[in-house]
Every structure is written in structure tokens, then in C-alpha cells.
Amino acid sequence: MLEDLNPATTAAVTEGMVFVPGGTFTMGSEQFYPEEAPLRRVAVDGFWIDETPVTNRQFARFVEETGYTTVAEIAPDPKDYPGMLPEMAKAGSLVFHKTATPVDTSDPSNWWRFEFGADWRHPLGPDADIDALGLWDHPVVQVAYADAEAYAKWAGKDLPTEAEFEYAARGGLEGKEYAWGDELAPDGAMLANYWQGLFPFANQCLDGWERTSPVRSFPANGFGLYDMIANTWEWTRDWWSDKPEVAKKKTSGSCCTLSNPRGGKLKGSFDPSQPGVRIGRKVLKGGSHLCAANYCQRYRPAARHPEMVDTATSHIGFRCVVRVKG
């Protein structure tokens, strides 16, 4: 909370951030995926938010100053993963691989591979690092939730709630499905880094990028924020819930506004399709460069996706917020 800081410290903490004034907005969507519904009125207090996702350059400074080791750089403990093959107990993370031909899009294992040696320094695998790949100003990826949380704490910040992220992503627009209006690509303009073509085998790269792009490569939204949509999914602090919280009705036919919602509970976030795995899932927001019209139309402010907190991939990053006590 900024009220505990002196002016000089406040200025240092909020450098590279944008202040988003508090307000009320319509959260969610009823046009795409069921987990985004229902539409609900939500109020959020004002907060500062990073102008861009945290970059490799920024994350490198954090690691240099703290000696921090990310989740992907630590070999998993087989006790935490029932049925894990012994040979898989090595440090690594998930890397996207474009397929050569059409595949069954209901099976993500067709394009995701667990690569030993993949981590934030080597987002595509051990053979090339961020320096060789020229990724210093790209969003940091291959970061699990704990890594994002550790960075935020070091920076004197926090991770956004789902409501804060969506409010900021909308940029002040009300009632629009996209962060810039009613059309995905108005007059053919590419306004974010998402997949153009048939996923996961044919990317036309009309936006100029096959994987992540440098931050600020696309126009800022109405709040002056970059890459709130696509490029990388971003961690929020909220536990996943299939049914978002809604305000209780005051009287028949009227409903109140939900103020600063904080998401679900840990227990309710577990993946019901994997009853033997008790690892919580957080809400991801914003979509990524892998979102496509034929597979994942989640390049929208209302879009949301569950992800286990131990997961690091080549398309998940984060940004931070600083809250102002009202």
C-alpha cells in the first residue's frame, strides 16, 4: 500500500507504471465461453499497474540482485506428481512446438512438450538463451506463479486480481468484446500479437511475430497500457473458480455491485479431471500469441483460463500492481 511509503519511495516503486483510477464496469462476457459468464457489475479501487508485462531485462535484474531460482530450474519431486516416470524428474518446462499438419485440438500434448533445460533464460529449450534469441525486451516467460509472486514482493508490488486486470485491459471501454472495440481486426489492423491462421500448424504471422513480441510493439489501450491482450497470458492472484463471484440481489429485480472481488478458494480451484493432483490453479488473463480463431478466442479482456501454480510455459508471463488505499 502506497500510504505507507514516503514520496521518494513511492516514485521509485511506481516508475514504469500507470495509475488506473477506480471505477465500476461490466465484467465478463456471454458471447464466447461459459466460464466468462455471467455479466456482472464490479467496482475496483484505483491502483497502479505496470505499463507492460515484466520483461526479461527486468527479471534478470531481480535474479541478479536476489540469486532467485525459478520453479522451472528445480527438478520436480515425484512425490508431488503421482505416476510420474522417474526419468521425467528433471528441471524443465513446457515449450510450444508448431505442428506440421492439422491435429486434434482437444489434445494439447500435440503441441506442448516438456523440455529439459527450458527456463526463463532458455524459453525455447537449452540450446539458445534470451541473449542469443534477442529477447531482452520481450515479456519474461517460463515463470510459475511463485516466480511472479517473488518478483512482485521484491519490487514492493503485488499481482493483480482478475477484476483489476480485466478493468485495466478494457482501457475505459464499456460493453466491448475487444480491448479496442467491436472488431478483432478493424480494417485489417493487427492490434495485438495473436495467431493468424489455423492453429497449431499454420500461422500467417500477419502481425509480424510467430512467438512473443517486444513489449510496446502494438498500440496502447485507453489507459496507456501495452500488451494487456495477447502476446503472453498473465498470472493474477485469484484462485480459479468455474463460476465467477456475483453480487447478491438486494431485492427482486435489482442487483448490487460487487466491490473489489478476490476470486475463489484454493480447494475449489483443484482440477476435477485430476483428482489425485492437489495443486491449486490461478486465473490467467489476457490471452497469448497462441490464441486463434479456430481454437482459443481468448484475445479479449473477459477471457480467463485456469493454470496450476507450478506450471511454467513459453506463453505465460505477468505484470504487477500497487494498490492505493481509498
pLDDT in tens, 179-188: 999 999 999 9
Average pLDDT for residues 115-143, to the nearest whole number? 98
Average pLDDT for residues 65-83, to the nearest whole number? 93
Average pLDDT of the chain, as a whole number: 94
Tell me what pLDDT residue 247 has.
76
Per the structure, the complete domain to which residue 89 belongs is given by 2-323
Tell me what pLDDT residue 109 has.
97
Query: Pairing relation of β-strands 233-239 and 316-317?
Result: parallel
pTM (2 d.p.): 0.94
Among the residues of the chain, which ranges form H helices? 7-13, 56-66, 130-133, 145-154, 162-170
Tell me what pLDDT residue 8 has.
61
pLDDT for residue 1 is more than 90: no
Tell me what pLDDT residue 181 has.
96
Report the alpha-carbon distance of residue 285 to residue 261 in Å, rounded. Answer: 15
Going by pLDDT thresholds of 50, 70 and 90, the confidence category of residue 326 is low
Tell me what pLDDT residue 7 has.
58
pLDDT for residue 277 is more than 90: no
Tell me what pLDDT residue 82 has.
83
Report the alpha-carbon distance of residue 142 to residue 191 in Å, rounded. Answer: 24
Tell me what pLDDT residue 2 has.
58
pLDDT for residue 90 is more than 60: yes
- Rounded to a whole number of angstroms, the distance between the first and last alpha carbons of the chain is 10
Is there a contact between 53 and 120 (Cβ–Cβ < 8 Å)?
no
Model pLDDT for residues 153-191, shown as the tens digit of each residue: 999 999 999 999 999 999 999 999 999 999 999 999 999
Model pLDDT for residues 222-246, shown as the tens digit of each residue: 999 999 999 999 999 999 999 888 8
Tell me what pLDDT residue 9 has.
65
Report the alpha-carbon distance of residue 22 to residue 130 in Å, rounded. Answer: 37
Tell me what pLDDT residue 79 has.
85
User: How many CB atoms are closer than 10 A to CB 311?
Assistant: 19
Tell me what pLDDT residue 25 has.
97
The CATH number given to whatever domain includes residue 285 is: 3.90.1580.10
Tell me what pLDDT residue 195 has.
98
Report the alpha-carbon distance of residue 42 to residue 12 in Å, rounded. Answer: 30
Tell me what pLDDT residue 6 has.
54
Going by pLDDT thresholds of 50, 70 and 90, the confidence category of residue 81 is confident
Report the alpha-carbon distance of residue 127 to residue 125 in Å, rounded. Answer: 6
pLDDT for residue 253 is more than 70: no
| % the chain with pLDDT above 70 | 95
Q: Provide the domain count of the chain.
A: 1
Higher pLDDT, residue 253 or 259: 259
Average pLDDT for residues 201-212, to the nearest whole number? 98
